[in-house]
Amino acid sequence: MALTGLLLLSAVYIYERKEVKSVTAILIGIFVKIYGIVGLTQFFFIKNKTKFILSGIGIAILFFVLPMAYSSPQFVIQCYSDWFQSIVEKNNENQVLGNMQDISLMGFVRRVLGMHPFLTLCF
């Protein structure tokens, strides 16, 4: 629910031409759960793309560095590295044709057609 709210908030901020607030909502969603990356699809509706990109880079750096205020930089970097590795492993598990864990359009089409390497590139 909260992620949906952040995406809607981002869309409202885009409508109101508040690019910094919009990218902040998107980045909160991305840093909390990777699905927040869907908010970047709203990029095409932004009038001031340069401001959006530059503020997005700045806020992303801030969000990356902020946890280092109460923890060591090595720990934060290791956490993000482990998180990325976990996502890669989960994706590899989902690409097995007999696995019923991949509950998505891509997984459905992959199981029906039995063509996982090709379809992964298409999606």
pLDDT tens sequence across 43-65: 888 888 999 999 999 999 999 99
How far, in Å, CA of 100 to CA of 96, rounded? 9
φ, ψ (nearest 5 deg) of residue 75: -65, -45
Share the mean pLDDT of the chain: 83
User: With bands split at pLDDT 50, 70 and 90, how would you rate the model's confidence at 110?
Assistant: confident
Q: Mean of the pLDDT values across residues 67-78? A: 93
pLDDT of residue 96: 66
pTM of structure: 0.70
The H or E element containing residue 53 is: helix 49-65
pLDDT of res. 72? 92
CA distance 72 to 103: 37
CA 45, 7, 110 angle in degrees (round to 5)? 90
pLDDT the model gives residue 20: 93
Structure tokens, 109: 């089409």
Q: Is the pLDDT of residue 120 over 60?
A: no
What are the Cα distances from residue 75, in Å, to 67, 81, 86, 105?
9, 10, 16, 36
Mean pLDDT of 56-85: 93
